[in-house]
Amino acid sequence: MKKIHILPAHIANQIAAGEVVERPASIVKEFLENAIDAGAGRIKVHLEDGGKRLIRVIDDGCGMGRKDLELSVERHATSKIREESDLASIRTMGFRGEALPSIAAVSRLTITSRPEAALEGWRVRVVFGRNKAITAAGCPQGTAVEVEDLFLEIPARLRFLKRRGTELGHVARIIRIFAVSYPEIMFELSSDGRTVFRSRPGTEGVESMWPLAGDDLVRRMISVRGGGGELSVSGYISPPEEGRASSSGFYFFLNKRPVSNRLLWKALNEACRGIMRKGMHPVGALFLEMEPGLVDVNVHPAKQEVRFAQPDSVFRVIYHAVKKAMEHGGELSGQCLHRAGAGEREKTNVLYEQIQAGPGKGRCQDAGSVTLGQAVTEASPGTDLCPLPWETSLDDSRGHTDPGRRADIVRPMGDGEVQARPSGEEDLDPIGQLAGTYVLAQGSNGFVLVDQHAAHEGIIFKRLKREFLQKKNLNSQPLIFPEILERNPEDLAGIKEVSSILSQIGIEAEAFGDSEIAVRAVPEFIASAPGTKKIVTELIDRVLELRHRNASDLMHELLASIACHSAIMAGQKLGRQEMQALLKELSQEGVTRCPHGRRVSYYIGLDEIEKWFGRR
Ligand SMILES: Nc1ncnc2c1ncn2[C@@H]1O[C@H](COP(=O)(O)OP(=O)(O)OP(=O)(O)O)[C@@H](O)[C@H]1O
Ligand SMILES: [Mg+2]
């Protein structure tokens, strides 16, 4: 590496400066960047108490001599840029000369380093920005940086540090991200004496995605390739049916730097629209390569934001590359899609039969082979409920509930005005299905179009809600063999925090070893459905992602998600009896909207029809 020097004020002033030391993970990120810039082949991170007591990062990079070491903790001291023009094409991870002094100001920082050619090493110490001292030290080639007592003298910041497990999770995430971007480097993380993560240098292609996606998913990931103009993009993405409820499983890298940018997310989301189920996000990573002069990384102190010189073309390249990969490389997800493939329909039919038969036990399950209609009507809608404080706002249609009302299938097509129902009591007679998705039925005064998925989802949601309000949780069914889900350390840390929420919806889950979660019980309602593992995975994702939301919104989301998974699907063929059961139940339950607020039915009155044909 070149010699370190202090940037002149006119360059230093052009650098996006600001606080980057937020928590142990942000410190580890800076140290990893420095080690990578120093050409390290091996980087070891060790934490004590989640990094609150100690963070130690050791690399075998080029090291620093005495003079450089002394300068390195000064503000605007860097070896990575020199001229103003260097800012326009940054090729290193660091460039501001800010990280070490910022960290030195809020901790006890010790750096021990020796360059290859030197016979001895040196150690510099700074205590909360004061008392800089340098001494000779025997050490191998490379650099060891230690941060002790982070924020100890800054109680306002100390308070914001989370529990050991949470901080460890954040650090592990950063390391896994870099391990994917630099698969040739050996990364190791240990915490309080235990090894938490060790990368596998030498893995190539999709295999190198394992730190982010896990070994299991990696096998099914789709390759993404594209390019245009000055940009080339490559990467891997999960198949559409393997999405997550959270977007936190997807990463962008620009010239190997992990970055975040609205434009990139927009291109990804647009490309997945209509291919992935609504609200689901892919897992994966895209690696963008472009001439450094065409992108500005000097936008935000954390160096993660970027600004592109040609945003339109970046959008196009990503959009087309992802869309092509998803359309040609993967199967379609059927749950909420109207374009479900044949295989998917088969699956959904099985699911419907199981739902029709009712779950294995409990209030509705006792009925054995009850029909859909019976199962719902047997639940007691009017029981005196004792809601938890946050349950009171749980409604089945986001403010459209009216429990006493019968199905509001009275809205004429066209102007959206609600008319009086032709006959509240009459049974509707199914005529057939439109596009395999809408049930057409006639009454004496007109006909009704029912969105079969939305309607069934609304009915199930109401049932679940009732069960939940009565018992304060959903029935749970223990699994004979626990489902083991591969998870990253931050999820493992989070799982303890959310275990009471999970158990309210019938999921018993706990950390299992260093990288897995054992699910020991699942909501009874989905226990016998095909794809239980996938549904539970999605529910856990949702809980982890939304755990800070208010409790009633969270519970609404979770029950809605279970309902969505359990409901008959768009594109699924229904027999006459099934249609009858659905219509009856819809009417009896008074469901007008699905949990997402969409209407479930439209009524077209005979009056209206006669007007169309000039009979009135
Ligand atoms: N692990 C390391 N090995 C060798 N040199 C290092 C190491 N860490 C830091 N340095 C040297 O110390 C200098 C200051 O590091 P610091 O992280 O503060 O700034 P930077 O990396 O130049 O820019 P940024 O603030 O954007 O990270 C670096 O420019 C580099 O020369
Ligand atoms: Mg740096």
What is the rounded distance in angstroms from the CA atom of residue 175 to the CA atom of residue 186? Answer: 11
The helix, strand and coil proportions of the chain, stated in percent and rounded to the nearest 5, come to 40, 25, 40
Amino acid letter for position 133? A
Q: How many residues does the chain have?
A: 616
Q: Quick check: CB of 94 below 6 Å from ligand 1?
A: yes
Query: Which pLDDT belongs to residue 38?
Result: 97
User: Are 85 and 11 spatial neighbours (Cβ–Cβ below 8 Å)?
Assistant: no
pLDDT band at 17 (very low <50, low <70, confident <90, very high): low
Q: Is the pLDDT of residue 273 over 90?
A: no
Query: Which pLDDT belongs to residue 241?
Result: 81
Q: What angle do CA 443, 449, 452 make, to 5 degrees?
A: 120
User: Are 337 and 571 spatial neighbours (Cβ–Cβ below 8 Å)?
Assistant: yes
Q: How far is CA 373 from the centre of its chain?
A: 36
| pLDDT tens string 157-175 | 898 888 888 899 889 999 9
Higher pLDDT, 258 or 344: 258
What spacing in Å lies between the alpha carbon of 303 and ligand 1's midpoint?
Answer: 14
Cβ neighbours for 558, distance < 8 A, ≥ 6 positions apart: 501, 505, 539, 542, 543
Query: Which pLDDT belongs to residue 426?
Result: 62
DSSP-derived letter for residue 274 is T
Q: Is the pLDDT of residue 395 over 90?
A: no
What is the rounded distance in angstroms from the CA atom of residue 375 to the CA atom of residue 360? Answer: 12
Longest dimension (CA), the chain: 103
| Ligand number, closest to the Cα atom of 76 | 1
Q: How far is CA 151 from the centre of its chain?
A: 30
Q: How far is CA 599 from the centre of its chain?
A: 28
Query: Which pLDDT belongs to residue 361?
Result: 26
What spacing in Å lies between the alpha carbon of 100 and ligand 1's midpoint?
Answer: 7
Higher pLDDT, 116 or 373: 116
Domains and CATH numbers, the chain: 5-200 (3.30.565.10), 206-329 (3.30.230.10), 353-605 (3.30.1370.100)
Pocket test for ligand 1, best of 3, 15, 20, 34 (most atoms within 8 A of CB): 34
| Ligand number, closest to the Cα atom of 79 | 1
| pLDDT tens string 218-269 | 988 999 999 988 899 999 999 888 888 888 889 999 999 999 888 999 999 9
Residue owning the nearest CA to atom 7 of ligand 1: 34
Structure tokens at 602: 């439209």
The DSSP line for 66-99 is HHHHHHHTSTTEESS--SGGGGGS--SS--SS-H
230-263 burial: b if 16+ Cβ within 10 Å, else e: bbebbbbbbbbbbbbbbebbbbbbbbebbbebee
Pocket test for ligand 1, best of 31, 100, 123, 141 (most atoms within 8 A of CB): 100
Structure tokens at 93: 């991870």
Selection from 600, 522, 530 nearest residue 566 by Cα: 530
Which residues place a Cβ less than 5 A from the ion ligand 2?
Answer: 34, 94, 99
Query: Which pLDDT belongs to residue 228?
Result: 87
Q: What angle do CA 52, 56, 61 make, to 5 degrees?
A: 150
Q: At what angle do helices 489-497 and 164-181 cross, to 10 degrees?
A: 160
Residue with tokens 């000055």: 230
What spacing in Å lies between the alpha carbon of 97 and ligand 1's midpoint?
Answer: 6
The top-scoring range by mean pLDDT among 261-265, 329-333, 387-391, 483-487 is 261-265
Higher pLDDT, 348 or 258: 258
510 C-beta neighbours (distance < 10 Å), count: 14
What is the rounded distance in angstroms from the CA atom of residue 75 to the CA atom of residue 13? Answer: 12
Q: Is the pLDDT of residue 66 over 70?
A: yes
Query: Which pLDDT belongs to residue 216?
Result: 83
